[in-house]
């Protein structure tokens, strides 16, 4: 049994004096704030912005404009995610996948997440305005508003939320293009279309894997109304099928060369195969394979675009 003295020592060791900063708590709060931004999604968003910029700049990218575009977009995207988590904190607490997030687990207060999200959104937009141009800043702000104010509330109302969410999901390519060119030309919409279509198999696989979770959280996702997964599998396959020709458009509009064309065709058929296998036998394993295929398709096609651009 511990003596009163040793118990007192334990208590002293556990509670640092008020003027000593508890580094663990500081680190914990920093990583909690970081987690609000959904960093891995932001990374892929920033890569998409970067590719849009590099293609728009056609080999004469201005390094400081590029840096401002990437930093500004990362901040706006991170702010959008923080605001999404603020709005969804009660539903996130009901879902297994999300209940350990910073707000439902109580690591941050809701007001802290809301203030952080607004601050990132404002600073990111201002960086785009000052370092790139007003059009890029406007597209970024529109992206944030669509994601936070339209898509997020729609998640609890209609399964059409996915088609709406795919718009802000695909706009980052347009942000990059407009930051480099100051225009909204057909090439930008080609990039938009690729990311737009890519998201359906990506998300329908996720929606299938977490179907029970989404239902618990009151999120209206297709698999809840499609217990056999036939419609979910068919939709994933149809969007992946549409993505095969859409993926070739950059060559058609003169953005990318033949290496890109054949590479995009190969990756498109690979993604389509994964979607068709999911449709043929809808289960968690085929859904996970489709999700992994989505994580290969987009970075691969974006890389091919920057490796094989065509001069203006």
Summarize as ranges the residues that interact with ligand HEM (CB under 6 A): 40-41, 44-45, 48, 97, 162, 165-166, 169, 195, 199, 202-203, 206
Burial pattern 174-188, b for ≥16 Cβ within 10 A else e, equals bbbbbbbbeeeeebb
The answer to whether the CB of 195 falls within 8 A of the CB of 294 is no
The answer to the question of residue 168 lying near ligand FPP (CB under 6 A) is yes
Give me the helices (H) in the chain, please.
Answer: 4-14, 23-36, 39-57, 63-87, 89-94, 110-131, 134-145, 152-154, 161-181, 186-209, 211-216, 230-252, 258-280, 284-307
Length of the chain: 312
Number of residues this chain uses to bind ligand FPP (CB under 6 A): 19
* H-helix or E-strand spanning residue 148: none
Classify each residue of 91-114 as buried b or exposed e, where b means 16 or more C-beta atoms within 10 Å of its C-beta. bbbebeebeebbbbeebbeeebbb
Which partner from the list ligand HEM, ligand FPP, none does 206 bind, CB cut-off 5 to 8 Å by kind?
A: ligand HEM
**DSSP character at residue 222:** G
* Six-digit token string for 259: 């290496």
Looking at the Cβ atoms of 54 and 148, the one nearer to ligand FPP is 148
Judged by CB under 6 A, the stretch of 16-24, 26-34, 112-120, 165-173 that binds ligand FPP is 165-173
Which does residue 40 touch among ligand FPP, ligand HEM, none (CB within 5 to 8 A, set by kind)?
ligand HEM
Contacts of 68 (CB under 8 A, 6+ apart): 127, 128, 130, 131, 132, 179
CB of 54 to ligand HEM, least distance (A): 16
Contact status: 84 vs ligand FPP (CB under 6 A): yes
**196 is a contact residue toward ligand FPP (CB under 6 A):** no
Residues 125-154 interacting with ligand FPP (rule: CB under 6 A): 140, 143-144, 147, 151
Segment lying near ligand FPP (by CB under 6 A), choices 78-86, 106-114, 220-228, 240-248 = 78-86
Q: How far is the CB of 190 from ligand FPP (least distance, A)?
A: 19
Interaction partner, residue 48 (ligand HEM, ligand FPP, none; CB < 5-8 Å by kind): ligand HEM
Token code pair at residue 202: 């990506």
**CB of 199 vs ligand HEM, minimal distance in Å:** 4
Q: How far is CA 76 from CA 98, 118, 121, in A?
A: 22, 9, 4
Between residue 18 and residue 77, which ones bind ligand FPP under the rule CB under 6 A? 41, 45, 73, 76-77
Residue 101 binding: pick among ligand HEM, ligand FPP, none (C-beta 5-8 Å cut-off by kind): none
Which is closer to ligand FPP, CB of 22 or CB of 284?
Answer: 284
Q: Which of residues 169-188 bind ligand FPP (CB under 6 A)?
A: 169, 172, 175
Helix (H, G, I), strand (E, B), or coil: what is residue 309? strand
Structure token pair of residue 185: 């030309």
CB of 81 to ligand HEM, least distance (A): 10
């Amino acid at each position: 049994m511990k003596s009163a003295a040793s118990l007192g020592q334990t208590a002293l060791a556990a509670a640092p004096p008020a003027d000593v900063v508890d580094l663990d708590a500081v680190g914990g709060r920093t990583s909690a704030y970081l987690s609000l931004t959904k960093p891995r999604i932001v990374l892929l968003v920033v890569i998409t912005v970067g590719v849009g910029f590099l293609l728009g700049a056609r080999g004469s990218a201005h390094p400081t404009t590029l840096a401002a575009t990437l930093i500004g977009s990362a901040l706006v995207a991170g702010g959008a995610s923080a605001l999404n988590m603020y709005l969804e904190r009660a539903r996130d607490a009901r879902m297994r996948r999300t209940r350990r997030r910073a707000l439902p687990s109580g690591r941050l207060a809701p007001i802290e997440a809301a203030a952080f999200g607004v601050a990132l959104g404002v600073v990111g937009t201002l960086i785009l305005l000052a370092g790139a141009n007003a059009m890029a800043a406007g597209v970024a702000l529109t992206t944030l508003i669509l994601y936070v104010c339209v898509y997020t509330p729609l998640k609890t109302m209609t399964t059409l939320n996915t088609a709406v969410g795919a718009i802000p999901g695909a706009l980052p390519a347009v942000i990059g293009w407009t930051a480099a060119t100051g225009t909204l030309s057909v090439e930008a919409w080609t990039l938009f279309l690729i990311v737009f279509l890519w998201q359906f198999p990506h998300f329908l696989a996720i929606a299938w894997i977490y179907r029970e979770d989404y239902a618990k959280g009151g999120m209206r996702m297709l698999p809840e109304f499609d217990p056999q997964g036939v419609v979910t599998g068919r939709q994933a396959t149809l969007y992946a099928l549409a993505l095969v020709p859409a993926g070739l458009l950059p060559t058609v509009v003169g953005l990318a060369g033949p290496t890109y064309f054949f590479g995009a065709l190969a990756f498109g058929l690979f993604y389509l195969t994964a979607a068709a296998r999911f449709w043929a036998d809808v289960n968690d394993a085929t859904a996970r394979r489709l999700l992994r295929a989505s994580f290969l398709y987009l970075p691969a096609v974006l890389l091919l675009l920057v490796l094989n651009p065509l001069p203006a």
